[in-house]
Amino acid sequence: MKNIIIITNGPVLGFTPFMKKVSNYFNAANVGVEVWTQQRIDDFSRVDRLSNEHMTLVSRWGKRRSNRIVKGLGLLYFTARVFVKAISKRSSNTVFVCSRFESTFPIYLASLFTSVQYIYLDRDAPHLTYRFSDWILKCLYGLEKKVSKRSLVHVVPGDSRNVFGNRNVHVLPNLPDRKSLEMSVELVHEFESKIRLAAKGRFVLFCSGWLVESRGRKLLIEFLRDKKVCSKAFFVFAGDADEEMKNLIIKSDSALWLGRIPFEEALAVTRLSDFVVGFYDPSYEINKRAEPNKFWDALVLKKAVITNNGIDTLEFFRKFGRFYMSDYKSFDMLSILRDVKDLKKQGSLKNGIENSWEDAFTEILKRASIH
């Protein structure tokens, strides 16, 4: 196998669910990897660095809620440092595995000047994510297309994200990996009594990830303040939220705040939940093409999902499981909870999914002539 340098963000390789799968994969294969990372000052993680991961902190700049100028300067600094390091590390026996566009772009630039090979792990296409002026979005689209075309493999989470039509695009669904699933079984007991006792017979709804305005923050706050909803639902939150929302969750008798937890713990909580909850404001193009980990986690673990209308990918996801939906701007959670009544009486969820994340990732490495 070729030398692998992974470029990502966070204090450890397994900082995000997707990169946790990558971390588990190379650790199981006993393959040493070099990791170049950028980190915000207030980033933290309970995920351990594995023995096969050799970390290099390229940039530590700004905080999660720093203004755009600070974030922009930090990104420029990171880009410059990665570009220089990539030029010095160039080798026909080295492949860069880059997480997200900001990690891939400096490697693309380096490839214009010397022989540099890279895999582009594209999880949130910038031209679909941000609300910039049309001309900026067109420039981003063109730039992303070039970055995609020059990569050995451009990895996207679903067909909805294959916007360039390049021959090197490969779909890697956001399925949970086997290692994380196995670990989650052992972790269930750590959460079971806490959640079951607090829920007091109510439905357990698991809300995880980036809890911001475009991901249903306003809706979730409304639910926590609605006594009728809270009489039927107990909310478990994990991920990132602002202080106002965290304080509301912590003070509520109908919610539990777990903060940022490792991926395997999120799967353990999913096992204990009745519903996985995920909201995506459809006025954002990227949200119409949502391919989230949480949907796949729910499907594999045979859990129902509560989400909103206006997501184009739901036509695909609904083939494999049960989804309860309402309009994003006027979401009727109470009606959904009343209609469900008893999940156990509705039979098992449809599930024709083979959990083969590792096999799919191996295929990507083969296409890049790494494996």
Candidates 308, 260, 314; CA nearest to 289 is: 314
Residue 135, burial from CB neighbour count under 10 angstroms (0-12, 13-18, 19+): exposed
Candidates 6, 299, 13; CA nearest to 176 is: 299
53-86 per-position pLDDT tens digit: 899 999 888 777 778 888 889 899 999 999 999 9
- Min mean pLDDT across 10-19, 99-108, 109-118, 348-357 is at 348-357
Domains and CATH numbers, the chain: 3-175+357-367 (3.40.50.2000), 178-346 (3.40.50.2000)
Average pLDDT over residues 82-91: 90
The overall average pLDDT reported for the chain is 91
| Greater model confidence, 322 or 351 | 322
With a cut of 70, say whether residue 354 has pLDDT above it. Answer: no
With a cut of 50, say whether residue 150 has pLDDT above it. Answer: yes
Cα 60 to Cα 17: distance, rounded to the nearest angstrom:
21
Candidates 119, 292, 263; CA nearest to 177 is: 263
| Greater model confidence, 61 or 231 | 231
- The 8-class DSSP code of residue 337 comes to H
With a cut of 70, say whether residue 349 has pLDDT above it. Answer: no
With a cut of 50, say whether residue 347 has pLDDT above it. Answer: no
313-332 per-position pLDDT tens digit: 999 999 999 999 999 999 99
20-51 per-position pLDDT tens digit: 999 999 999 999 999 999 988 877 777 777 77
pLDDT at 365: 93
With a cut of 50, say whether residue 16 has pLDDT above it. Answer: yes
Q: What percent of the chain has pLDDT over 90?
A: 78
* Amino acid letter, residue 183: M
Encode 169-215 in three state secondary structure: EEECCCCCCHHHHHHHHHHHHHHHHHHHHHHCCCEEEEEEEECCHHH
List the strands of the sheet with 33-39, edge to edge: 53-60, 33-39, 3-9, 94-99, 117-121, 153-156, 169-171
Average pLDDT over residues 202-210: 96
pLDDT at 348: 44
The total of other beta-carbon atoms located within 10 Å of residue 224's CB is 19
The position carrying tokens 């701007």 is 329
Under the banding of pLDDT at 50, 70 and 90, the label for residue 171 is: very high
Q: Is the pTM of this model over 0.85?
A: yes
Phi then psi dihedrals of residue 323, to 5 deg: -120, 130
Cα 364 to Cα 119: distance, rounded to the nearest angstrom:
9
Residue 342, burial from CB neighbour count under 10 angstroms (0-12, 13-18, 19+): exposed
With a cut of 70, say whether residue 215 has pLDDT above it. Answer: yes
Residues 6 or more apart whose CB falls under 8 angstroms from that of 231 comprise 202
Cα 169 to Cα 238: distance, rounded to the nearest angstrom:
32
Please tell me the number of Cα atoms within 13 Å of 197 on its side-chain side: 6
Cα 74 to Cα 93: distance, rounded to the nearest angstrom:
30
Cα 49 to Cα 345: distance, rounded to the nearest angstrom:
43
Cα 362 to Cα 170: distance, rounded to the nearest angstrom:
12
Candidates 290, 270, 250, 156; CA nearest to 208 is: 270
pLDDT at 253: 96
pLDDT at 353: 60
- Whether the Cβ atoms of residue 120 and residue 154 lie closer than 8 Å to each other: yes
